[in-house]
Amino acid sequence: TLLDDAGRSVSLASFRGRVAVVLVFYPMDETPGCRKQLCEIRDNWKEFERRGVAVFGVNPGSASSHKKFRDNHRMPFPLLVDEGQKVARAYAASGIVVRRTVYAIGRDGRIAFAERGKPEPAHVLAALSAQP
């Protein structure tokens, strides 16, 4: 459970059995690579929404930094504050800076996709579609 950029509590367990979830671990707000990655998801948002997939950006930055980043780029999904990289550590994405890593978790709570770097949104969605 983490707080989002608006101070709301978000618990991964609350999605199990209801919707698939994509976690995008990214190093820092407002850097070119992170901006590009999260904006690609924003640009494909209608498809994520159509398939009922919840998306969360995750890094240890502050809620105010996340809010500014999200507002600047009109991201329709929350950015979560992973203070101390606790969740990043659980998903093998921690380091001196968070390692860019994407996980897609099916409705059943199982990991359907995990990849370092910046996978195409279509690849992430395809992995979720392949689940029973």
Mean pLDDT of the chain: 95
CA 111 from chain centre, in angstroms, equals 13
Give the model's confidence band at 132: pLDDT under 50 very low, under 70 low, under 90 confident, else very high. low
pLDDT digits (tens, 9 = 90+) for 84-108: 999 999 999 999 999 999 999 999 9
Residue given tokens 């093998």 in the structure block: 92
pTM over 0.85: yes
Residues 6+ positions from 107 with CB-CB distance below 8 Å: 15, 16, 17, 18, 19, 20, 131
Strands (E), the chain: 2-4, 9-10, 20-25, 53-59, 79-81, 101-105, 111-116
Q: Which residues have a catalytic role annotated?
A: 34
